[in-house]
Homo-oligomer: A and B are copies of this chain.
Amino acid sequence: MLGLRNPIRLIPALFLCAIAVGTLLLSLPFATAQETSAPILTAFFTSTSAVSVTGLIVVDTPTYWSVFGQVTILVLFQIGGFGIMTAATMFGLMAGRGFGLRQRMATQVERSRLESGDAVSVLKLVLAITIIVEGVVAIALATRMWLFHGMTPAEAAWDGLFHAVSAFNNAGFSTHSDSVMGYQNDVYILGPIMCAVILTALGFPVMQDIRANGFSWRRWSLHTKITVAGTGALLLFGFVSILVAEWNNPATLGPMAIGSKVLNAAFHSVMPRTAGFNSLDVGGFHDETLMVNYLLMFIGGGSAGTAGGIKVTTFFVIFAIVLSEVRGRRDAGIFNRRFGSALERQSLSVAVMAAALILASTTYIASISELALQDILFETISAFATVGLSTGITADLPPTGQLVIIALMFVGRVGTITVATALALEARDRSYRYPEENVIVG
């Protein structure tokens, strides 16, 4: 069976199925608040955005969709998020059972301690983490919304649950037209969301490693070390940059008290890394803040989780290679470990293919619309990295532009896990090697 031989190829098909079913459900008349069928492109875009846990929207979630529509969206991004976690687990199983995945993939996932014997416990763990974290966050948010934001218990429960699931899966959908801007002074709303996002954006192998080894740096895998330290560095960089750049911006942090400035800069250092909620008006950001966001979104979060982007490890592997090269070292590496040369090439390839895809999409959308280039670039990076932040142009994109964004969300979500790997499944053992010859570069 083709599917068994290369089960990795099932993943895109499964995601496509989920998107198709979602499109169908969202096209039903009673999915919209007006009880008129949504245009097929709107349903397709929203379904893809939900399943890929991106959160870009062409229509306003709370006013355009009915309760049925909103529940459908919630289910879609929960399925999407769970699918990613499960896929990561599957790779671990395949690696353990020798389904013919190339050695590299096997080695990597094994090293991340996803082994065949752990199968059931790993699936249980995904479920347990999902239920516990979503439950705790939902209760925290719902309580706060009920007691301090004038909601009825039913409203608060729905709102809390929706934002908790959205945060846990890094989906970025909100039941508020202005995302969480209405809570920009409430640390008890933004705080739990930030915590859920930071935790899940580490990726499943890291959570697994922390569960097995606690916070013992020495016992962590290199993957966990780079992801955790890198996440810390990126959050600090984002926090300081946004705080400094936006401090006086009347459209964002300017009018706020110092405590709120700090809270919202912290929140917006977490969100571009994949979650996509916004407590500030992204369209009001200074250009230099957009640049910082481009970088943070492009890098994204941890591997094999709900986060998107090229991933923290990819970025820091490249960073370490450049540093080793500049320092004239024989090996590239970090934390007293050196990288294999296959890893170096894979990191380079992931980053270059992502950049090429984003630049080509941006160029294409620029050629079919009059939108500002910097906003288009923000949108394409946000879509590819399944972030979901926007300067506000999503609904103004021409239909083919929206199709490009749909393709970016899909490729960004399933691509870095499967497309490159699937393409590379052919055997690597060619007997003849060409002679080596080098060239002058730079």
Q: Which residues of A contact B (CB under 8 A)?
A: 102, 104, 107-109, 111-112, 203, 205, 221-223, 226, 245, 286-288, 290-292, 295, 303-304, 310-311, 313-314, 317-319, 321-322, 324-333, 336-350, 352-353, 359, 362-364, 366-367, 372-374, 376, 416-417, 420, 423-430, 433-442
Contact = CB atoms under 8 A, between A and B. Distances in A.
Contact of A108 (B338, B425, B439): B439
Nearest to A310: B442
What is the oligomeric copy number? 2
Given A321-B349, A426-B327, A441 B341 contact: no
A434 to B, nearest CB: 5
B441 A350 contact: yes
Given A352-B318, A366-B286, A435-B338, A441 B291 contact: no
20 contacts: A102-B328, A108-B440, A111-B438, A205-B440, A286-B367, A287-B376, A290-B373, A317-B441, A318-B348, A321-B348, A328-B424, A328-B427, A336-B434, A337-B434, A338-B437, A339-B437, A339-B438, A343-B439, A373-B374, A420-B442
A434 B222 contact: no
A321 B374 CA distance: 30
Given A337-B437, A338-B435, A348-B321, A373 B442 contact: no
B440 A303 contact: yes
Given A434-B337, A438-B107, A330 B428 contact: yes
B345 A442 contact: no
Interface centre among A292, A317, A366, A416 (most CB of B within 10 A): A366
Contacts of A336: 434
A430 B329 contact: yes
Given A291-B373, A326-B424, A436 B349 contact: no
A425 to B, nearest CB: 7
A435 B345 contact: no
A433 B331 contact: yes
Nearest to A314: B441
Contact of A330 (B245, B346, B353, B430): B430
Contacts of A350: 441-442
A205 B441 CA distance: 12
The 5 closest A-B pairs by CB, nearest first: A350-B442, A328-B424, A288-B367, A287-B366, A303-B440
Given A330-B430, A348-B348, A352-B322, A373 B287 contact: yes
B303 A442 contact: yes
Contact of A223 (B326, B338, B426, B440): B440
Nearest to A441: B314
A245 B367 contact: yes
Contact of A428 (B329, B332, B337): B329
A290 B362 CA distance: 11
Contacts of A440: 108-109, 112, 203, 205, 223, 303-304, 311, 313
A111 B331 contact: no
A439 B310 contact: no
B328 A428 contact: yes
A326 B416 CA distance: 12
Given A222-B437, A330-B428, 10 more contacts: A109-B440, A288-B363, A288-B364, A326-B424, A327-B426, A328-B423, A339-B437, A339-B438, A341-B341, A350-B442
Given A108-B439, A338-B435, A440-B304, A344 B345 contact: yes
A332 to B, nearest CB: 7
